[in-house]
A and B are shown apart, each in its own frame.
Chain A
Amino acid sequence: MIRISGLHKAFAGSAVLRGIDATVAEGKIVALLGASGSGKSTLLRCLNGLETFDAGTLEIAGFSLDPGVHDMRTLQGLRAKVGMVFQEFHLFSHLSVLDNVTLAPRVARGTARAQAEAHARELLAQVGLAERASAMPRELSGGQKQRVAIARALAQGVSVLLLDEPTSALDPELREEVREVLRKVARGAHTESGAGLTILLVTHEHALAHELADEIWTLAGGAIAAKSER
């Protein structure tokens, strides 16, 4: 579950988020639409502590965040439950596909290598990349990279998934393979419990938003201008 109350955020004096109040119920999918610069990405980054904020409170996956600098231990706990997928993939270029997916479970969670790799191979199979486990990121197409990034974000058994324009950096013909993976994820196929994942999807693709989301929010001028249920 995600609960956002009175969230304010300014960069160098210029307000980006001006009081956001919204809730995403457990297992629901919300698509966040809005023009470039409307604060969509900033909202997403506040939710997993990549950005601090100036006022309001956030509750996410059982953790709560306050304005100002966050406690590192809280953040680490939160991030183990909240996966993030970036527009530009950000795969670790020195690690193979398999190692990209197993890094956090092994290093941050202390999962045994064999167990982490078995789980990673399952996830890679689900995103259709079982054969590329030993490839290096630079040998992959953009669509493949984003599918690895999705597997990586899910590898710790997260309950919330934040997707920051996951198809925007891709050539149009590569987007469908990522959409296909997102559909699978949306059906809740990847959570450990089998229960649905709570997803916040920032996107420009209206069709995708309407296809996947239970609810669509439109952000404008740093506030939610419209909410519509499907």
Chain B
Amino acid sequence: MHSSGELGWGADLQGGEPYVFESPTQPGVIIGFEVEIAEALAHELGVRAKFHQNDWSNLIPSLERGDFDLALNGLEDTPPRRARLRLSRPYFVYGETLAVRAGSSLHTLAELSGRRIGTLNQTVAQELLQTQHADVVLYEGQQEPYLDLNQGRLDGVLLDHVIADRYGCGQPGLTCVKEDLARGTYVVGMRPSDVELAARVDAALSRLLSNGEIRRILERWKLWDARQAELSERAPKPVPSAPSMAVPVLPSAPAPTKQALSAAQLGLFFQGALLTVLISVCAFGLALPLGVLLAVIRSHGGRVARFVATAYVELFRGTPVLLQLYVLYYGLSPLIRLGPITAAVLGLGLNYAAYEAEVHRGALAALPRGQAEAASSLGLSRYQVLRHVLLPQSMRIALPALTNDFVALLKDSSLVSVITVVELTKRMTIVAVELRDWGVPGLLCAGMYFAMSFPLSRLSHWLECRYQSA
């Protein structure tokens, strides 16, 4: 920072209004209350603030890598973070707000035990919910949990009041519990080695608090409320010893140092792998017959049926599977409310059916015409010709491509984490952040995928050989 005259700060634009987001009227311009705080800080330090876009879940690893100097994006002050990073004094006080459907009786933390509660990944709310033994459902964006709450997929959503006020409480059919279930602060995260920078940032924040600049920024964004009175009370370093209100203290994790993979985490890895296999097998179980049907229609069907099958293939091949999953899970939820795993299987299955259709169409076209003629000349019906003569042969031709697609599907199944399914890859990212280590979980995850896909290639090879020699 000193050499460049720049203060690099990392945040995720996906966090949205009012934190850090692109101006709706001026595309490319970044605005938000944290943008103003970062700029005020840089101004105090006599440098320019430079924004770095970074996926929120990986904000801390990126900070540690040295991609930027400050993580400034709704970073909550927690003991594990305090052990890992150098944290500034707070610039904002948030309350954990519980949103429920109107008429729900839930209103305390203790009541959430065993309930399906949504929140964002890697948040204090997530840890709070886990200590209460709630059934936690993790999201990447802040609008989706409220959509699911409205649809009845969740019993409640626990998130910072800033998010709850904007995305949840005002929605028809939803209501928020008035009292905060917990309170905490947003702080600036820095590398432990940046001792001097941390001292200067704390001093700058103190000045911005006492000269009213932070209050002015928060007021501009309509964020100044009674909670913020605690800002000046909260000491820069240790976590407040007692809560200032009748709200629980934020999670007190056992002094966290760099940890090894625990047996429980390993168990969760296997669970994730099992789910990956389950989703992939079910999705392929849908894709294969549907693909064969589409291929048969495209090569033998009537004009209208052929048009419909072609349109299906082009539509599902021509749009991203990620988009299809979103539409299926969120977009269609007012019409059909699918569970996350059902939606995952359906989404991947429908998408891969389009690819299988093309594989089988090619395989059918590769068969000598005489095969169908000989079968017809024996008096077999069109269906019997397909069932007994053409498909058994085209299936063999398609086999290598099928195996290839299944292995691809196995890996594409990681995309379903966007609809709250915690499969193998998602589990890996969660554990990696918990352990502050991407190496071991990454290798473990890769090893598990390989252990699943390699036997498949062997099986396919064996089947090909068997058909060759049979």
Contact = CB atoms under 8 A, between A and B. Distances in A.
Interface of A: 48, 50, 72, 75-80, 83-84, 86, 88, 90-94, 103-104, 107-109, 136, 149, 152-153, 156
Contacts of B382: 72
A92 B374 contact: yes
A108 B377 contact: no
A79 B376 contact: yes
A80 B377 CA distance: 8
Interface in B148-192: none
A79 B374 contact: no
B371 A86 contact: no
Given A76-B379, A76-B381, A108-B384, A94 B392 contact: yes
Interface of B: 368, 370-371, 373-382, 384, 388-389, 392-393, 396, 467, 470
A93 B368 CA distance: 11
A50 B376 contact: yes
Question: Which residue among B377, B378, B380 has the maximum number of chain A CB atoms within 10 Å of its CB?
Answer: B378
Given A88-B370, A90-B371, A94-B392, A50 B377 contact: yes
B388 A86 contact: no
| Main SS at interface, chain B | helix
Nearest to B468: A138
List the 8 closest pairs (A to B, CB-CB), nearest first: A90-B374, A79-B379, A104-B378, A90-B370, A84-B377, A80-B379, A108-B379, A76-B379
B368 A90 contact: yes
Contacts of A84: 374, 377-378
B470 A86 contact: no
Contacts of B384: 107-108
7 contacts: A50-B377, A77-B379, A88-B370, A90-B371, A90-B374, A92-B371, A156-B378
A92 B389 contact: yes
A145 B376 CA distance: 19
Given A86-B370, A94-B393, A94-B396, A48 B388 contact: no
A107 B388 contact: yes
Contacts of B373: 50, 86, 90
Nearest to B384: A107
A79 B381 contact: no
Nearest to B375: A92
B371 A156 contact: no
A109 B304 CA distance: 32
Given A77-B379, A79-B379, A91-B374, 5 more contacts: A72-B381, A76-B379, A94-B396, A94-B467, A108-B379
B428 to A, nearest CB: 43
B173 to A, nearest CB: 56
Contacts of A149: 374
A152 B378 contact: yes
